[in-house]
Structure 1
Amino acid sequence: MRRWHSNPSGQTRRIGGKNGSKRHLLVDGRGVPLLLIVTGANVNDCKRLDEVLSAIMVKRESPPSRRHMHLCADAGYRGADNARTIEKHDNIAHVVSRRKEADIKRRDPTKKARRWVVEVCHSWFNRLRKLLVRYEKLERSFVALNHLAAAIIAFRKVPLQVNIIYG
């Protein structure tokens, strides 16, 4: 049986509901964040998949037949609805559970793990103390800090070649 609480404002919520924020990330093969969406912690990741994939700013031209865009996701994105959403955005889905990926890696050590890059990116965000615990009351300031952190992470991870000519 579920128990319900009502707070002084009259709204009801379920006991055990999650408070806080969740980052939905889309990263490249190196773990550099390409896209960031912040939602409430009580929102399932699968519910925001279409929003994440449609929010990509720079659309890539349709790739040649030998190179497709691949989307690597964890087992939470299994299901027919998620597969249709991924195909609608012209991606090839690689939805692998943690155990299956470990077995593949054990059999062939030359293969790169695909799922860990998102976890590494989340840990880079959590290294910034201002983002580990949400102190901001306004959502827009928290989103702005996350975007600033994504820019800092991208600046650190993408190699830049700057040729400065002093005259």
Structure 2
Amino acid sequence: MPTAALWAAVEPLLPAAHRLGRPRVCDRQMFFAIFYVLRAGLQWKALPRCLGVASTAHDRFQRWVAAGVFRQLWVLGLLELHIESRLDWSFQSLDGCQTKAPLGGQAVGPNPTDRGKGGVKRHLLTEAQGLPVGLAVTGANVADVIQVQAVFDSMPVLPSPDTDEFPQGFCADKGHDAKAVRHLIQQRGYVDHIQSRDQEATLCKTPGYRARRWVVERTHSWFNRFRRLLIRWEKQVDNYEALLHLACANIVWKQSLLFG
């Protein structure tokens, strides 16, 4: 469940409550209910009554999605770490992960690895510690190479200027191997580390070489611990992205609390 510190961070971001009508269920209880749905992977109607009424929790979730609360929570955590110079910009890793989307909806496409069934892909960029710093959502049939710019555009924070003297690495698999991508990362001042698994495995045998691509793959594994993200049930892409942003926020704020 979310910590008290995570609730303390999100509380100021919540929109003002309407004062008319029935007594309002407290926001804290609804936030914990939403987080429980994300973590346990259950449907809204299956929410335990001890956490609140399912319809109320879902309505509160929709309102907060419209207000951009979950993205702001992620951004706030990154900004705090960035100001304290606790983000490691020595290299960044990018990778995509496909999941099923049986109900269809926005940003869903035929999954080429699942007999053309409906699927979604999250394109995730992390810094060197594995903290998510960029995220884009597309259909499962969208090629990785055409989403690199979109992921860069989604970054809430950018490396500090004082890191320019230390070239930053850009790490990705062969799915991102294209002239346009290499040109893009060169324009941004990155050192190219787009390699296949075999190439990186060979380089890992070199003394002093630091493997990089596994970092983003580990972060995808962290995402999959939120069982609601294993299969996309949301038809509206805004709702799905909000759950991803909440997972991002939890990972970032957990890092802040561990080393704060």
Compute the TM-score of the two structures, normalised by the length of structure 1.
0.78
Distance in 2 between the 1:26 and 1:143 partners? 15
| Distance change in 2, residues 1:112/1:61 (3 Å) | closer
Corresponding residue SS for 1:21: strand
Cα drift, residue 68 of structure 1: 2.0
Partner of 2:156: 57
Distance in 2 between the 1:62 and 1:18 partners? 44
Distance in 1 between the 2:168 and 2:206 partners? 25
Aligned residues: CA RMSD: 2.2
Distance in 1 between the 2:160 and 2:130 partners? 22
Distance in 1 between the 2:137 and 2:164 partners? 34
Between Structure 1 and Structure 2, the one with more helix by share is: 2
Runs of at least 5 residues in structure 1 that lack an aligned partner in the other structure:
1-12, 162-167
Match of 1:86, as an amino acid? I
Cα drift, residue 86 of structure 1: 1.1
Higher relative contact order (CA 8 A, sep 6+): 2
Q: 1:6-85 residue pairs with structure 2 within 5 A?
A: 16-63=115-162, 66-85=165-184
Cα drift, residue 147 of structure 1: 0.3
| Distance change in 2, residues 1:95/1:63 (3 Å) | farther
Q: Are residue 141 (structure 1) and residue 239 (structure 2) matched?
A: yes
- Moved >4 Å (runs of 4+): none
Match 1:117 to one of 215, 219, 222: 215
Distance in 2 between the 1:104 and 1:60 partners? 26
8 Å Cα contact 1:29-1:117 kept in structure 2:
yes
Distance in 2 between the 1:93 and 1:41 partners? 26
8 Å Cα contact 1:53-1:89 kept in structure 2:
no
Match of 2:119, as an amino acid? G
Cα drift, residue 61 of structure 1: 4.2
Corresponding residue SS for 2:212: coil
Corresponding residue SS for 1:99: helix
